[in-house]
Amino acid sequence: MAIPAETFFLDPDSDQTLQQQIQQQVAEAILTGRFQPGERMPSSRRLARHLGVARITVTIAYTELVANDYLASRGRSGYFVSDNAPRPPNFAPQAAPTESRVDWSRALGQRFSHRATLTRPPNWRDFRFPFIYGQADARLFDHQNWRLCALQALGQKDFEALTSDYYERDDPRLIEFILRHILPRRGISARPEEILITMGAQNALWTTAQILLTQRRTAVIENPCYHGLRDILSQARCITHPVDVDEGGLPPDAIPGGADVVFTTASHHCPTNATMPLERRKALLERAARDGFLIVEDDYEFEIPFLRSPSPALKSLDGEGAVIYTGSFSKSLFPGLRLGYLVASEPFIREARALRSLVMRHPPGHIQRTAAYFLSLGHYDAQVARMGRAYRRRRATMDEAIRENGLKVSGRGTFGGSSYWMQAPDGIDTTQLAQQLREQSVLIEPGRAFFGADQNITSHYRLAYSSIATARIPDGIARIAQAIREST
Least distance (Å) from a second copy to the CB of residue 405? Answer: 29
Considering only residues 79, 131, 206, 450, which one is a binding residue for a second copy as defined by CB under 8 A? 206
User: Quick check: 212 binds a second copy (CB under 8 A)?
Assistant: yes
Considering only residues 8, 35, 62, 70, which one is a binding residue for a second copy as defined by CB under 8 A? 70
Q: How far apart are CA 333 and CA 338, in angstroms?
A: 10
User: Quick check: 231 binds a second copy (CB under 8 A)?
Assistant: yes
Identify whether the C-beta of residue 316 lies closer than 8 Å to the C-beta of residue 187: yes
Number of residues forming the site for a second copy (CB under 8 A): 146
User: Quick check: 68 binds a second copy (CB under 8 A)?
Assistant: yes
User: Quick check: 11 binds a second copy (CB under 8 A)?
Assistant: no
User: DSSP code of 98?
Assistant: S
Three-class SS of residue 273? coil
Segment interacting with a second copy (CB under 8 A) among 103-111, 242-250, 264-272, 436-444? 103-111
CA-CA-CA-CA torsion sign (10, 12, 13, 16): positive
User: Quick check: 318 binds a second copy (CB under 8 A)?
Assistant: yes
Strands of 460-464's sheet in order across = 408-411, 419-423, 460-464, 445-446
- Report the DSSP beta bridge partners of residue 141: none
Backbone angles phi and psi of 245, in degrees to 5: -90, 160
User: Quick check: 189 binds a second copy (CB under 8 A)?
Assistant: yes
Q: Which of 135, 397 has the CB closer to a second copy?
A: 135
Residue (of 126, 141, 137, 123) closest to 469 by Cα position: 137
User: Quick check: 430 binds a second copy (CB under 8 A)?
Assistant: no
Considering only residues 45, 116, 159, 192, which one is a binding residue for a second copy as defined by CB under 8 A? 159
Least distance (Å) from a second copy to the CB of residue 230? Answer: 11
Q: How far apart are CA 385 and CA 309, in angstroms?
A: 13
Identify whether the C-beta of residue 352 lies closer than 8 Å to the C-beta of residue 325: no
Q: How far apart are CA 140 and CA 130, in angstroms?
A: 15
Least distance (Å) from a second copy to the CB of residue 427? Answer: 32
Q: How far apart are CA 249 and CA 245, in angstroms?
A: 5
What residues from 136 to 155 belong to the interface with a second copy (CB under 8 A)? 136, 138, 141, 143, 145-147, 150-151, 154-155
User: Quick check: 186 binds a second copy (CB under 8 A)?
Assistant: yes
Q: Which of 168, 400 has the CB closer to a second copy?
A: 168
Three-class SS of residue 378? coil
Three-class SS of residue 14? coil
Least distance (Å) from a second copy to the CB of residue 251? Answer: 23
Considering only residues 37, 256, 336, 425, which one is a binding residue for a second copy as defined by CB under 8 A? 336
What residues from 375 to 404 belong to the interface with a second copy (CB under 8 A)? 376-379, 381-382, 384-386
